[in-house]
Structure 1
Amino acid sequence: MGRQGTNAELHVVDERLVGRKPASLSFAEAAALPLTSITAFEALFDRLRAKEPVTGEAPAILIIGGAGGVGSIAVQLARKLTGLTVIATASRPETRAFALELGAHHVVDHRKPIAAEVAALGLGAPPFVFSTTNTEAHLAEIVQLIAPQGRFCLIDDPAAIDVNPFKSKSVSIHWESMFTRSTFATPDMAAQGALLNEVSRLVDQGALRTTLAETFGAINAKNLKRAHKLLESGSSRGKIVLEGFGEAAS
């Protein structure tokens, strides 16, 4: 179809993978949710099985990168849908405040030794650890702080990761990728549509909030570069959204 001299492309999406837009959100606010919500929801409940306690261990979860896009949804889901004490990591005053605002019980500084930071809370060793960023840099600390027979999930792409140190604690290690179900057409693809509808329901009930932090205007080369620059700086919080198509700029 044509529109003012430009071509509008149509994309077919399997209906099992989509959910309802929250009625209470704008399109930009809603656009910040699906990728992060699917990733966080699957990590917490399909991979870590965070509703299934590890016998005798502290009912707590550590979320590394708690003010980032995925972390900011994970903090909310863990707080609202589990009885776990939610420990998030953040390093700057504004990101620490953001994580607490989203529902984290405690925030520790990931620029310091995380194991000591968590131990100082006096809660005991958390059996659940969800790492959203810089896993390779934090791996030794995660090995030290996680409870025996705990569950560890990561979503980033370390250049190399030695899982052998987890053996003595019998820790299970999980990767989460939101595209696994769609890429391999798994029999449970409909789970993504169901979880998105649940997220939509929770948003409209006021139990969850969008983590849209900034809108960078129209989708063009200039604004894409701005967004990538902020993401690469490691200082962004929540999600960045570009909305609509604008004139290309170098």
Structure 2
Amino acid sequence: MTDDPILSVSGLEKTFGGITALDGVDLTVDQGITGLIGPNGAGKTTFFNCITGYLAPDGGTVEFQGDDVTGNRTPSIVREGLVRTFQIPRELENMTVRENLLLAPGGQSGEKLGRAWLRGGQFAEDERRSRREAAEMAAFFELDHLLDEPAGSLSGGQRKLLELARVLLTEPEMVLLDEPLAGVNPTLERKILERIHELESQGQTFLFVEHDIELIMEHCDHVVVMHQGQKLTEGPPSAVRSDQRVIDAYLGEEI
């Protein structure tokens, strides 16, 4: 483990027509759980989109584990070990939970037709490994009793768990969580948070966007605040909570 940040973003810019969504954002993320907060329209989701290849930034740089990934396409960034979830889960509703999970692991011998033909034994071994890992991940998220159910039949909270399970099967170094608890009942919320902390204890890194500020303050090691496309401030939760600029940005909301 080094002292270098896992993610380093410098001067990130993005405009849509005449609207500036990101205005020179600088941000670094170290191992652990970092919270990213800000009022609606602060640029949080655009920031996620630009560093994970869903949008090309207009300026600035993104470095992940020391490699420049600025403007790379999403599959390339996923292979580097940087993945994300979405505010609205994107499971394949007509496929079972098991089938959704089996889509996640990469690097399987059967992914190319010629390789599957030449290495049939390896393909079968990879298939068994993928099924075992999918079952283990489902059990970790307490979805194992739903493996053969259509993903579309899951509750909103269960879909969030499925998406996180699917993301983790890519064996990422860092996960960007875009409102993973929105619309989730308190029982499943606790379950998701328990899983995140358990994964953090195993060395996983998270950048966590959530509107519930109290939750961010309680569960994150470090908090970054965005406002009007810029980084407003950052620091430990106790310092951010009492920062007058943050209070003003939230129009006097109790934080």
Indicate the structure with greater strand content.
2
What band does the TM-score fall into relative to the shorter chain?
0.3 to 0.5
TM-score, scaled to structure 2: 0.32
TM-score, scaled to structure 1: 0.32
Which has the bigger relative contact order, CA under 8 A and spacing at least 6? 2
